[in-house]
Amino acid sequence: MKFKSHLLFMISLWIPVLTIAQSADLEAKLTIEMESAQISGDFSISNYEAATTALRFVLNDKLKVNQLSLNGQNLSYEVIEEGCADCKFYDLKTPKKLTTSDILRIVIAGTFDRYEAGENVKDYKGKLVSNYNILRASEQSKWYPVIVENRELSSYVLKFPYRYAITTTCPDCKHIFIGKGEPQGKQGTFQSEEAEAAIMLIAGDYDWERTEQGIYLNMKEADILKMDSMIQSIRAYYSKLTSIPMGNEFILAHLPSDNPNWGGFVSYPAIVDVRKKAKTNNAAFISHELAHFYFGDYYEPKSNLFWFYLESFAEYFSHKYMLAQDANAIERDFNNLRRIRLTHYIPFIKSFKGNHFRFVKLAKVEHMNEVTGIHRYIMGSFQLLGMEHEIGEAKMMEFIPILFQNLKAEEHGYTTFINSLREVGVSEATIKTIEKKYFKRLKLKSYDFL
């Protein structure tokens, strides 16, 4: 079912950039050998202020720690395997709380899997793996030590922002890419001025090309041309819509995987297509991902409505772009929403509590994950389109910057939402209508309101 694959595709994409107060510097020497599938790294973490002497970091389970020291003094540690997906936790007690001048050195080495045609059907974003002679690791693969500050979070979403400076060597690679910017040759240095939580690694046998719209990795010329004109059109639309020019730092990579149920993922600013044949006409997907330039990067989603502010707004922009191309472009999504509502929400609301299809009204959401996948990717965007129908596009564009400026992690996201509507002059009567029609229940009977 097209809808299903589209949804699954998106669900795996954007991992929460939870509000983390801390960041650190990560300096590393990384050595890769494609032929023997070896990877080793000498990492130094500094400029980090720890809250306690109990420190935890996480690493991919293909990697082993060979040395761990603080300011040159070896430290002992405990390895915890439970509760970590394709990874291990390392717990250590430091003699004192780490301050900005301390240097924690972690020397690691390991062997990654190498797959050829049809072998890697269980592939996903968290793997540290070479498919078809291209090694791929996202921040979710934990190919570098990721500090764990929130132990409540699932290992899938653990991230830590580093200002990184990584020197790489890979004698049998054609190109290496890390984080953002252009790929480099067999040897290179990658660094960031600002802390980044998604540090992606792509190394091995591939070519790349830069155009005005972005950087393309491992893509055919004809595909690049198609993608380029689509991205140009989306960028022009969003930049005009928001009056905020969109950057061109996007990395578009085609890294084929053998998992037939997987479409791709994003480690901002890299958008990765993992299908066997690159999909160059998926405007709904690309416009969603590019919208994260605004929702996720330019505007920071916060509060218990994190997923709504991140995903529903990105999908709302995507819908607007699609509708601008073709008035009926999202009718299928609309009908899917109605179908899901009838087949899932209503019976589930009555019978199950805690089911992931359960619909919790935005005003009642306590934990961020109560905004379920279907709510954040499908329903939320229609709620926003419905609201736009009431107040108009110009008012929506006035509202969005005010809303994100007002968002605070600790305040209920819905309170901020309604107060921000008031702030841009939406009347109490209209707010009441919006709440009644779109946010307190969702009974969209026809497509007409678009």
Give φ, ψ of 308 to 5 degrees: -65, -45
14 binds Zn ion (CB under 5 A): yes
Nearer to Zn ion, 311 or 370 (CB): 311
Write down the least CB distance from residue 14 to Zn ion, Å: 4
Helix (H) or strand (E) holding 56: strand 54-60
Handedness of CA 203, 248, 161, 291 (dihedral sign): negative
Binding mask 311-350 for Zn ion (x = CB under 5 A): x--x------------------------------------
Write down the least CB distance from residue 185 to Zn ion, Å: 33
- Tokens 């491992």, residue? 218
Nearer to Zn ion, 284 or 314 (CB): 314
Nearer to Zn ion, 237 or 293 (CB): 293
* Binding to Zn ion in span 272-311, by CB under 5 A: 311
Contact assessment for residue 319 and residue 385, using Cβ atoms and an 8 Å cutoff: yes
For the chain, the 3-state helix, strand and coil shares in percent, each to the nearest 5, are 35, 25, 40
Q: Considering only 12-20, 40-48, 161-169, 212-220, which stretch makes contact with Zn ion by CB under 5 A? A: 12-20
Q: Which residues contact 82 (CB under 8 A, 6 or more apart)?
A: none
Q: Considering only 5-13, 23-31, 152-160, 347-355, which stretch makes contact with Zn ion by CB under 5 A? A: 5-13
Q: Where are the beta strands (DSSP E) in 230-337?
A: 251-254, 264-267, 270-273
Nearer to Zn ion, 333 or 435 (CB): 333
Write down the least CB distance from residue 200 to Zn ion, Å: 16
In the structure encoding, which two tokens stand for residue 373, read together? 């996948």
Closest residue to Zn ion: CB criterion: 14
Write down the least CB distance from residue 77 to Zn ion, Å: 36
Write down the least CB distance from residue 364 to Zn ion, Å: 23
Nearer to Zn ion, 28 or 286 (CB): 286
Nearer to Zn ion, 89 or 293 (CB): 293
Handedness of CA 40, 42, 44, 50 (dihedral sign): positive
Contact assessment for residue 75 and residue 69, using Cβ atoms and an 8 Å cutoff: yes
Q: Which residues contact 222 (CB under 8 A, 6 or more apart)?
A: none
* Binding to Zn ion in span 356-395, by CB under 5 A: none
Write down the least CB distance from residue 280 to Zn ion, Å: 19
Nearer to Zn ion, 14 or 321 (CB): 14
- Tokens 């736009």, residue? 388
Write down the least CB distance from residue 211 to Zn ion, Å: 23
Q: Considering only 9-17, 96-104, 228-236, 421-429, which stretch makes contact with Zn ion by CB under 5 A? A: 9-17
Strand-pair category, 87-93 with 146-147: unpaired
- State the DSSP code for 156: G
Nearer to Zn ion, 314 or 391 (CB): 314
CA angle 234, 388, 243 (to 5 degrees): 40
Write down the least CB distance from residue 321 to Zn ion, Å: 14
Site residue total, Zn ion (CB under 5 A): 4
Q: Which residues contact 242 (CB under 8 A, 6 or more apart)?
A: 294, 397, 400
- Per CB under 5 A, residues contacting Zn ion are 13-14, 311, 314
